[in-house]
Structures are given as C-alpha cells and as structure tokens.
Amino acid sequence: MDRRRRGFLAGTAVALAGSVVGRAALAALPEPVIQSETATMPPLVPPNGRPYHAVVTLNGWTLPWRMRDGVKEFHLVAEPVVREMAPGFKAQLWGYNGQSPGPTIEVVEGDRVRIFVTNRLPERTTIHWHGQRLPNGMDGVSGLTQPAIAPGRTFVYEFTARRPGTFMYHPHADEMTQMAMGMMGFWVTHPKARHPLIETVDRDFCFLMNAYDIEPGASLPKIMTMLDFNLWSWNSRVFPGIDPLAVRLGDRVRIRIGNLTMTNHPIHLHGHEFSVTGTDGGPTPPGSRWPEVTVDVAVGQMRQIEFVADAEGDWALHCHKSHHTMNAMGHDVPTMIGADTRGVAERIAKLVPDYMAMGERGMGDMAEMEMPIPDNTARMMGGEGPFGSVEMGGMFSVMKVRRGQKVGDYADPGWYRHPPGTNAFEWTGALDAPARFRAEGQGAMPVGKPIDRPIEVQVRKPGGDAGHAGH
Ligand SMILES: [Cu+2]
C-alpha cells in the first residue's frame, strides 16, 4: 500500500506542461494530473476543504484538485489513452488524464466546483455532469447548452455541488463514438454533515460498467456496434484484470455502480444481503428498502448498495448474465456438448492450421485449454483460484472479507483459508443408483400401453379453408 501511495504521489502522477494551451492560460489552469497505472489507488484523503470519507475506485483513482479562493479546481484532459484491460491485453481507448474511465471526482455538498476540460481528441467533445443540479448552461449538451469543445480548446464548467450522492460524467457530443471508446468517469458528492438518509460506512467502493467490441488480436473498439459487444468490463477492466474488493470483517460496505453500456446488468453478490440505499436521483428513504442479493442496473442508471460484511471468505461479485462473465470470443461457435468430435480436429487442422474443436464437454475446458490465441487478447475465461480455474471473465470480481484486514488497507489479502471441514468435498463412498430412477414410471400415473398406430396431425392455418381442418 505504501508503495502504491508513494507511486500515486510521485512516480505515476505526472504534471503535464501543455502545448495545446498557451502559457498565459496555463498560469490560470491547474496542472492536469495524469495517471499511468491501472491498480486500484488508495482513497485520496482530502488535503483541504471539508473532510469526508473518501471512496475507492476499482482499478482507478480520484483526481486531486487545487483549492483557489474557496473553489475546488479540477483539470480534465480528454485524450486517446492506452488502457490495459487485463494482463496481456491493452486497448486503444479514449479517456481522461491517461486512463479510461477518467478519474473519479469527489467533492462535498455545497462545494463550489470549477472544472477545466481540455480537448486533445481528434474531434469535438463536451462533458455532461449526469445527475447534477446545476445551471442549465453548465449541463454540457453539445449544441443545446453550449458549443462543442473543438480539438485543442479548453472549456470551463462551474457550479455548486448541491446534492450529495452518486453521479457520473460523460461526453454529450458524438456520444455513440466517445462512450464506445471509453470516455466516462465517476463523481461522488459527499454529504457536508450527518445526513438522515446517508450512513457512514467503513468502505466505499465505486465503478462504472462499460462494454467494448474489440476483435481478438485487435486493440481498437468497433464503435458502430449496437448490442453485440464482446468485452463486458468494470472501469474498462475484465476479469481476471479486476482487482478484488478487500474488506475487514464487520465493515459496513457501500458499493456504487453506474451503467454506461447498452444493456442492463443484474449485479449479484454472494454470501450477503444488501439494500439499495441510493440512486443517481439521491438517497432512498429507509421505508423503500428491502433485502436483495442481486440488483439490476439499467442503462444510464446508478445504484448504491450497502451491507455489513459479516461473513469471512472470498465472495463472488458479478453480473448475473452469464455471457457478461466471459471475454472476447467468436460468437459463431456451434454448441458441441455431447458431440463426439474425436478425429474431427485433426482432419480440419489439415485445412485450417491451429483449428481446435471447441467444448464437447461444455465450455469449461476453454478456461484451461492452452489453445493458441492471438497476441493482445484476454482469454475467454480463466482466472486461477486456489482450487483451479475460476472459469470467468468480464464483469466478475471477488469481495475478500477478512478478520485480519487492517482499517484502511485495501491490499489483496490473498486467498481465503477455509476452516478445516468447511469446504465442499468429494464423496468417496459407494454410489447406489438414486432411488428416483427405480420409481420412475411406476407411480400413480403409469405410462400406459405404447401407441402402435401412426398419429395423423393436420394443421389449420389462420384464415385458411375450414374444409381442411384436422382433428
Ligand atoms: Cu451484465
């Protein structure tokens, strides 16, 4: 953690001398802080202003600000970035300040906020501050509330963060392209004092859900894709590239989730029940809360869930759409379960080098297959756990609840050591045939005699001739 914190302050946060913005303008601009690492950074303890309990962005970071005459000044730079989406797989995306998504912005209810947005993209952009109460002219909708920010130009947004809660930011200019390329970021406004609907928590995590369509072996997303994305990511990372959520046993935990993909994601947590304590519309009143283990986050929505992490272990946290816990693959693969493909691969391999028959026992083998994949491609599924492959990809992570996790320590504690005798185990005794097989067909409803004559079936077409009616 210390290594990371030092890295955050010294090694990886690089002040950028802009060639885009003139020197006179730079004198008034806060230096943009650029992040080059994909590791989850520790919470940014506010150095000034009203104190708050900072969030932790999964595989992300919070943007430092400059306090100037009581105004919190941030500088976002929209630019092409290289994002490592998983070890061994880098994508060419667009983002902010060196990463996609951009840095999380954290402010306090009532803060005056000034955000400089410099456009280093090859095309125009804006930023919309999703969910904020602000003057209409600061809403960031290209053409509607402002002219678009041309390449090379810097715009200033300024407003008071009026409402505490969970928000995000994203372009509102050529949205289809710019969001498909990864332009988005998280925004948290902390309450300025004790709030009747906002509890103090021990750990406060956040991430945005995004999706990309990148051919195996390629690195640039296809921006015309409407629905058939092949990479389902949290903060532009796919499992096993998503960091675990390290938690101390007994912690009250909040997880804030925003959805900027083109479909809904039912997010499921193992081992605990949570309630939805807020949306991008604000905190939910206690009377509206009920226990859940899965929360569906629709397109353009945000949800914050809360619970007490009272069960030690490694608990999966994932999207419940099973195709969203897989990485890029060919979609045109026929189902081969039960098919005997022995010999087929050898014959096809003579025509197609590197061909491999896929999944005759299900697709689980894919996780372990040492089949050749193109360079710069995340495996379809994998992730080595303590008992073998986790056989997951995409929107999957692990919440690691540990008695010994220190307050404020977000480092991965390693795999859970299960107390002896508490793991599922293999049965090694005798296996009698299950009783239900013997009972089948002999109960209160006998099968009856087999039908020994052909059955004639005729179909009546709607609106067809009644004379052809069958029976
Ligand atoms: Cu999903």
CB 273 within 8 A of CB 242: no
Q: What is Dmax (Cα atoms) for the chain?
A: 95
Distance 80 CA to ligand 1 centre (A): 26
Residue 292 counted as domain residue: no
User: 231 C-alpha vs ligand 1 centroid, how far in Å?
Assistant: 10
Contact 52, 72 (CB under 8 A): no
Q: Is residue 279 part of a domain?
A: no
Q: Is residue 298 situated within a structural domain?
A: no
Q: How far is the CA of 263 from the centre of ligand 1 (A)?
A: 7
In a domain, 203, yes or no: no
CA of 296 relative to ligand 1 center, distance in Å: 9
Cα–ligand 1 centroid distance for 228 (angstroms): 12
Cα 267 to ligand 1 centroid, rounded to whole Å: 7
49 CA distance to ligand 1 middle (Å): 38
CA of 247 to the centre of ligand 1 (A): 24
Q: What are the distances in angstroms from CA 3 to CA 87, 98, 203, 242, 413?
A: 20, 20, 21, 19, 16
Token pair, residue 38, equals 């994909």
Q: Among 194, 218, 233, which residue terminates a domain?
A: 194
Q: What is the pTM of this model?
A: 0.82
How many Cβ atoms from other residues are within 10 Å of residue 362's Cβ?
12
In a domain, 405, yes or no: no
Q: Assess if residue 147 is contained within a domain.
A: yes
Which CATH number do you get for residue 67? 2.60.40.420
Residue where a domain terminates, one of 376, 409, 438: 376
Q: Indicate the number of domains in the chain.
A: 2
Q: Are 117 and 148 in contact (CB under 8 A)?
A: no
Residue 443 Rama label (left phi>0; alpha psi -120 to 50; beta): beta
User: What is the residue-level pLDDT of the chain in tens, covering all 471 positions?
Assistant: 344 443 333 334 444 433 444 454 555 788 899 998 999 999 999 999 999 999 999 999 999 999 999 999 999 999 999 999 999 899 999 999 999 999 999 999 999 999 999 999 999 999 999 999 999 999 999 999 999 999 999 999 999 999 999 999 999 999 999 999 999 999 999 999 999 999 999 999 999 999 999 998 899 999 888 888 999 999 999 999 999 999 999 999 999 999 999 999 999 999 999 999 999 999 999 999 999 999 999 999 999 999 999 999 999 999 999 999 988 765 444 555 565 656 655 665 666 655 555 555 666 665 655 556 778 888 877 888 999 999 899 999 999 999 999 999 999 999 999 999 999 999 999 887 766 655 555 556 656 666 677 767 776 766 645 444 444
Boundary-marking domain end, from 194, 216, 245: 194
The rounded Å distance from CA 322 to ligand 1 centre is 8
Residue 17 lies in a domain: yes
Whole domain around residue 30: which residue ranges? 2-194
Q: How far is the CA of 89 from the centre of ligand 1 (A)?
A: 21
In a domain, 168, yes or no: yes
